[in-house]
Amino acid sequence: ARCQCKMAPSERKNCGYPGISADECRKAGCCFNNSVAGVPWCFAPKPKKVKKVCPTNPQARVNCGFPGISAEDCERKGCCFRAQPAGVPWCFYHHMVEE
């Protein structure tokens, strides 16, 4: 993503070799910008930002507990707890989504 390549030239970490082309750099999953001399032109992107969210679709829940687990025990395990609807896990894992 473009936003992963937006950084100060001084923050760039080399991701290529001397003389690498823009195409080869991008094929390697790196960012390319040759507008500033003296810094890497092919550089590592910023890590993707992800956050943990509790899935809203009950069918997407992946069980994290056991029948009868309390909300406190579920959340102590680091999982989501929703005591509804019937027939799906009430204690379930988070989903990771990109911001």
Q: Is the pTM of this model over 0.85?
A: no
CATH of segment(s) 50-98: 4.10.110.10
pLDDT at 49: 81
**Band of pLDDT at residue 87, cut at 50, 70 and 90:** very high
d(C-alpha 48, C-alpha 7), whole Å? 13
Domains 3-44 and 50-98 share a fold: yes
d(C-alpha 42, C-alpha 27), whole Å? 11
**Band of pLDDT at residue 1, cut at 50, 70 and 90:** low
pLDDT reading at 98 higher than 80: no
Class of the CATH-defined domain 3-44: few secondary structures
Tokens 């690498």 found at = 20
Tens of pLDDT, residue by residue over 5-50, are: 999 999 999 999 999 999 999 999 999 999 999 999 999 999 888 8
